[in-house]
Chains A and B, each alone.
Chain A
Amino acid sequence: MSDTVLHLGFDDIDSPTGGCTTHFTSLLVEDLEGFGVRWLDYPGLVRLNPGIPYRTRGNGAVVLRLSVDGARLEEIVDLVKTRVESYANLEYPNTNPGFVMVRGDVPERVRRFSERALWRSLPIELASRIIQREKLVHHGFGNRRGLIGALASVGNKLTEDYTFEFIAYRSPEACGHERGVDWDSVARMDSVLRPQVFANIDSSNSQVLVEPHGPDPVLFGVRGENPDAVKRGGLMVRSHQAVERWMIFRTNQATGAHLTHEMTIDTLRPYMAAKVRASVSKRARIIEGGHVIFGIADDTGEVDCAVYEPTGEFRDTANRLMVGDRVVIHGSVRPASRTHPMTLNVEGVEVVALTPKIRVSNPLCARCGKRMKSAGRGKGFKCDNCGHRERNGEKVRTTLERTLTVGLYLPPPRAQRHLTRPFERPEKGNMGVPVKMIDEWHRP
């Protein structure tokens, strides 16, 4: 039988106790090579709407694109199903793995679904409906929530902009113990390869960013603009725990792909990722926990914006905003609760125009230079020092310098979303799809 092009999407294979969808993929890639597959692209790590709080923080799904003997499709489907069953912690009720397979061209309906999955909250019901109408081979476990990410990853070919990540994994036995990524090796790698690699160290506090902190099998990840750079970088990093395997992913991380829609306040919906162009309507106040809340308004309404404590110095930006400042807020919509209204969780502030900061004060005495006092309503000013009076004197308006300037403000790298386009990547760097893959993009 002739070769068939396949797109295999996976999601929700991890759980709070461990596991990782990308690690699962690295194992599956090794298995699939036994089928004589021809890889058409690097594994795709597609980050979806990061504003959905009941998903894992990264909300990442993975897609494999390959060509294989069409006679072996059933074997592949069986393999994937078996692998998911043995890998995922299906005892945990919020682990609901999903797997979707598309043969040949990706249907337009699936492509549109993936676009929406970057910034909206989509129901399992919709994913199931599309899968049914397109007659896609699939398998959903538990409540089948993983079908959403699986379908969305298949539909996202990462043609607008993309980056790469070299992810090193430790053995399952090592999970739960300290990874021991060596700071010096990361710093050396960063100095040699930057700007081809990025987000390795947070310069504001020297924190290593390549090392995660959960019980998952990821040992470290090096992000960058091309596969050669991330591979070179990944092989330079040292750690106490051994690298059991590694793989390079093509991804939408650091592209800002979730923030492509500018919404008015009345069209914001729960969990939506969006930009909102508005004016500051309420000055920042600090609440319990060190979080900062301020208000914005446009012609359609008003909404609270929250800047959380872990974003550190980013809160200073919120504190320096004044009522009337024109801003574009980048954020995710936190649904209302019994104790607070719908709120925009801020992940970026574009200051578009600053309102003048005016200080109004009494005039200086023309005779002795001291600050005068009001002589009473409509009676001008008097000087307590020399007794001079100015019946027609007026208050003095002084324009003060703002400590904020027009431009984009982001949280420090340690508090940024995976999808946030960092300052190191101001422009779209990679368009289209790679025409050639490097020889060794995974081991084993």
Chain B
Amino acid sequence: MEEREGIPCEICGQVVSATSVCSMCKSAVCSECFNTELGICYSCDEARCTICGDYLSSRACNSCGRLVCEDHGTKIGEATLCDICGTDEP
């Protein structure tokens, strides 16, 4: 985790004495907006692909609502089916 001094948090906008850099999106964020355990900001934490966790989501599964990245969701017309619901299909 890289620490930088005196930069406004890119998420909440508060100017703080130190920020941490999110390893997923590179945003400099304050301690309140940073999930120390994962080393990522809360925006990325909440938007990560629920299947792989490695990439940010680009869609929500129309069947189960899971947020998934481009690798773990298939577009079917305007809708998306995640890999898990796709596997469940008869």
Write the residues of chain A forming the contact surface with B, with a CB cutoff of 8 angstroms: 16, 53-54, 92-95, 112, 116, 120-126, 129, 269-271, 334-339
- Complex Cα spacing A121 to B41, Å: 11
Question: Closest A-chain residue to B69, C-beta based?
Answer: A337
Query: Known interface pairs A123-B46, A126-B33. Does A53 touch B11 (Cβ–Cβ under 8 Å)?
Result: no
Is B25 located at the chain interface by the 8 A CB criterion? yes
Query: Known interface pairs A16-B79, A95-B65. Does A126 touch B42 (Cβ–Cβ under 8 Å)?
Result: yes
Q: How far is the CB of A6 from chain B (nearest CB, A)?
A: 26
Question: Closest A-chain residue to B33, C-beta based?
Answer: A126
- Complex Cα spacing A339 to B46, Å: 22
Q: How far is the CB of A137 from chain B (nearest CB, A)?
A: 22
At the interface, is chain A mostly helix, strand, loop or mixed?
loop
B25 contacts A54, C-beta separation under 8 Å: no
Chain A residues near B64 (CB, 8 Å)?
93
Report how many residues on chain B are interfacial, defined by Cβ distance under 8 Å.
34
- Complex Cα spacing A360 to B78, Å: 47
What string of 1s and 0s marks CB contacts (under 8 Å) between B38-59 and chain A? 0001111111000000111111
A270 contacts B25, C-beta separation under 8 Å: yes
- Complex Cα spacing A274 to B79, Å: 27
Query: Known interface pairs A54-B67, A93-B64. Does A125 touch B25 (Cβ–Cβ under 8 Å)?
Result: no
24 contacts between A and B (CB under 8 A): A16-B79, A53-B57, A53-B59, A54-B57, A54-B58, A54-B59, A54-B60, A54-B67, A93-B64, A94-B65, A95-B65, A112-B13, A123-B11, A123-B46, A124-B42, A125-B42, A125-B46, A126-B33, A269-B25, A270-B25, A271-B43, A335-B58, A336-B56, A337-B69
- Residue in B24, B33, B55, B65 whose Cβ sees the most chain A Cβ within 10 Å: B65
- Complex Cα spacing A337 to B56, Å: 8
- Complex Cα spacing A339 to B47, Å: 18
- Complex Cα spacing A53 to B46, Å: 13
User: Beyond A54-B57, A120-B11, A123-B42: 5 further Cβ-contacts under 8 Å?
Assistant: A53-B59, A116-B13, A125-B33, A336-B55, A337-B70
